[in-house]
Structure 1
Amino acid sequence: MTDTTVISDADACAPSTAHAIGTEAATTVAGALKALADPLRLRMLSAIATDPRGESCVCDLAELANVSQPTVSHHLRVLKETGMLLSERRGTWVYYRIAPGKQRAVAALLDAFAPAAAAADEPEDTAARAEVLQQMDARVTRLAEELADELTGLNRDLVIAIVRESYAGLVRSAKLTAHMIPLTERFARQRLADLTRDRSAGVPQVLFVCVQNAGRSQLAAAVVNQLADGRVVARSAGSTPASDVHPHVRSLLTEIEGEQEAETAFPKPLTDDAVRAADVVITMGCGDVCPIIPGVRYEDWAVGDPALASPEGVDAIRHDIEGRVRGLLATLTSKA
């Protein structure tokens, strides 16, 4: 006779809700999301957040859509009621800016949630991915041993650890392709160079950091490397890297760097070593994710995301970045 255990309904389904968002907080957040659930309002919020002046005039915002002035005012009033915007009247015009206490929330919405929500997810074959990961692990081990044999001036265990960490950082987000091992090697070599770089010697180095490293930071680094002509070196990274560079940006990289360089561009995770190796770190919508390293200069550029922009918007963002880059290069090369 088989012994059976009777499970009551209470035992079978007893989920814990202790960590769920509280009712009051959920009500507040839901109200803000409801207010933002309009394409024009989202575009207005983005325009204000990325305006180089730190604020936008209602006359500028009216150009976003072919609607009447009362309609524009209505949408701005709804956004203001969420607490995300502050306004100030100057003469006949009203200017809007992001409320200081809401800047992180707006940045998270526009720089992390929006690109992820707009991206089309591809169905994943988990069994096939697991098999590929197993094969990749063996190839990464071989790569680590080869680099350790080559770079005899560095601690062998350190080289192997950096290679494996580099692969782990890339594989979390990047698509598994035939290029994963070469990308891992490039990333690992750069990290090892960062560990040994002396900031007092060589040309200045700039690190651009955004959330996904799929758009504006890639574009900014390419523009620096084009305009600096070797006098300054630029790199980029992301606090939460995307799986690939956005198509809009890759086409711009092709114009700036050439097809070969553009094809091999990939989103890279932000590391402390990259920050330590940089002379200047420029954040672009990623908040305070960068560690503060003594001797490193920090700037924050409020620049629109080309991954979400129209073709006209992409051109405007590129022009904005080029203007900022020229100013940056003037400060870095004036002493050369």
Structure 2
Amino acid sequence: MTDTALITDAEACAPSTSRAMGRDAATAVAGTLKSLADPLRLRMLSAIAADPRGEACVCDLAELADVSQPTISHHLKVLKETGMLLSERRGTWVYYRIAPARRAAVTALLDAFAPAATLDAITDDAERAEALQAMDGRVTRLAEELADELSDLHRDLVTAIVRESYAGLVRSAKLTRHLIPLTERFARQRLADLTRDRETGVPQVLFVCVANAGRSQLAAAIANRLADGRVIARSAGSTPASEVHPHVRSLLAEIEGTPGAETAFPKPLTDDAVRAADVVVTMGCGDVCPIIPGVRYEDWAVGDPALASPDGVAAIRDDIEGRVRGLLAALADGRNRP
């Protein structure tokens, strides 16, 4: 081997330090993360972010834990010093809100990283990879069966939707043995969205959050139960999780029954779903939804049941149900139809 080859190999193995985070930036980020490395501070940040008023006072946050008000104030001061919060005194109380410059970071932390960190990791990557490798033939057969059944649609369209649906689910699916039936359900939903007649169809609502493992699943289930067929509610996630959170699955069992809860699964957000909806309700997912003419958009600041206590989960459920009732009433008299 020549010296040139040796140098080339060494260069190939060298880390790309030029792409690493700068020292000052790393120091600043580390300081922020250190300020967040406390369960009570994270709960307070979550409560402020989810408050419908966009802010919360010390008296509200004191209910999160059995600690003194000075302790609550100390934790809030730490979050404020790192730039996460802004504060304003009104009378005897101080109100806190998320700093606008940090809102995207807080959303990413609470709606993407935190739920993912609470879910079980896949334990056998080799087994999963082997199962996925054997799945291609089954996906092909599913596409052929659906194309035969839905003969009024072009076969190439059905095949493409089936394969896209599978690809969207496989990125996050935790249990490969369920992928084919989940792919079929997701593909059928997408094909129904593509062929929906907006003028004569039943009103349709799409609930969107980040992981589609909590809020949006719960909202869609409540809406479908209350509407009793007068409105169709669906849900999706901008970055779907591998499974519905256990807290939410137990609530779905109360709302839909055990079979419905067991078959619930996180679904990726698609343009088709947005285009087919009369109303799109975003729930902490930021600006990820495509803006489609003729679709009405609402944003609900709702807490994440995946991160809440049992009492908090019940309160979130009640909050969502109240909002859903208002939305259904508006749809009934045409106020929320585009």
**1:130-145 matches, cutoff 5 A:** 130-145=129-144
One-letter identity of the residue aligned with 2:181? P
Report the equivalent of 2:232: 233
Cα distance in 1 for partners of 2:78, 2:286 equals: 25
Query: C-alpha displacement at 1:11, in angstroms?
Result: 4.2
The one-letter code sitting in structure 1 at the alignment partner of 2:226 is L
Could you say which residue in structure 2 is the equivalent of 1:278? Answer: 277
Give 1:221's aligned residue: 220
Q: How do residues 1-336 of structure 1 correspond to structure 2 at under 5 angstroms? A: 7=6, 10-11=10-11, 13-126=13-126, 128-335=127-334
Provide the rounded CA distance (Å) in 2 between the counterparts of 1:335 and 1:254.
31
* SS at 1:18 equivalent: helix
Q: Secondary structure at the match of 1:234?
A: strand
Deviation at 1:86, TM superposition (A): 1.3
Tell me whether 63-72 or 10-19 shows the greater mean CA deviation: 10-19
CA distance in 1, matches of 2:295, 2:125: 44
- Give CA deviations for 1:156-209 in whole Å, capped at 9, x if unaligned: 111101101101111111123432211111110111111111222222111011
Matches of 1:56 and 1:115 in 2, distance apart?
A: 23
Is the Cα contact below 8 Å between 2:128 and 2:176 reproduced in 1? Answer: no
- Displacement, 1:124? 1.9
- How well do the aligned residues superpose, as a CA RMSD in angstroms? 1.7
What is the number of equivalent residue pairs in this alignment? 333
Distance of 1:125 and 1:237 partners within structure 2: 26
Give the Cα–Cα distance (whole angstroms) in 1 for the partners of residues 259 and 251 of structure 2. 13
The Cα offsets for residues 33-67 of structure 1, whole Å up to 9 and x where unpaired, read as: 11111111111100100011211111011111111
* Amino acid aligned to 2:229: G
| Pair 1:38–1:10, CA change in 2 (3 A) | same
- Letter in structure 2 aligned against 1:101: A
The runs of at least 4 aligned residues of structure 1 exceeding 6 Å deviation read 3-6
Identity %: 81
Structure 1 unmatched ranges of 5 or more? none
Superposed CA offset, 1:111-152 (max 9, x none): 0011112223132241x3233122211000011011111211
In 2, the alpha carbon distance for the partners of 1:31 and 1:203 equals 51
Give CA deviations for 1:75-124 in whole Å, capped at 9, x if unaligned.
Answer: 11111112121111111111111122211111100000111122231322
Gaps of 5+ in 2: none
Shifted more, 12-21 versus 181-190: the winner is 12-21
